[in-house]
Amino acid sequence: MNITLANSDVSSQCEAILRSLPAWFGIEESLLEYVRDTALHPTWVAHEADAPAFGFVTLREHFPSSFEVHCLAVQADRRGGGCGLALMQTAEAWAKARGARFMQVKTIAAAHPSEAYAETRVFYERAGYLPLEVFPDLWHPRNPCLQLIKAL
């Protein structure tokens, strides 16, 4: 598996990855925003040799000291193979080398019954992220937001 900083247009490959994960990216408007953002913010893709990407992560810089995992996704049939962790480690190392001290991520909080997002929270915990705060209304009262953070 290679992980490279995307320096050409990878948006269609990232769109295919997101479309393989309807339990997480089922809202068309947000999916298209994540696709568009791959060209606007630092994005790494995971791929084999010259094959299309099967995973990607996009970061957003809020301040030089703090970045956010804006979008992270691994093709449905490649989940559980270490790609997500490898993408996170690459993006975190890049931010740290630029002087960043913190990486945050927002996801759906445990008050929501989604089993899919329960898996996501387990992943972030395994990646070293700690819960910081729940924002019940940031997105929508039906989708409480959990903010997690990791010191780099």
Interface positions with ligand COA (CB under 6 A): 21, 24, 72-74, 79-85, 107, 119-120, 122-123, 126
Q: Which amino acid is at 16?
A: A
Take residue 33 and report the two structure tokens written for it. 């925003």
Q: List Cα–Cα distances, 62 to 2, 68, 73, 88, 97, in angstroms.
A: 27, 7, 21, 17, 16
Least distance to ligand COA, CB of residue 39, Å: 19
Closest to ligand COA by CB, 40 or 118: 118
Rounded to a whole number of angstroms, the minimum distance from the CB of residue 139 to ligand COA is: 12
Burial 36-58, CB ≥16 within 10 A → b, else e = ebbeeebbbbbbeeeeebbbbbb
**Residue partners of 132: CB distance under 8 A and separation at least 6:** 104, 147, 148, 149
**Between 70 and 95, CB nearer to ligand COA:** 70
Nearest-CB residue to ligand COA? Answer: 84
- 115/137 with CB nearer ligand COA: 115
- Name the minimum Å distance from CB 19 to ligand COA: 12
In terms of CB distance, is 44 or 123 closer to ligand COA? 123
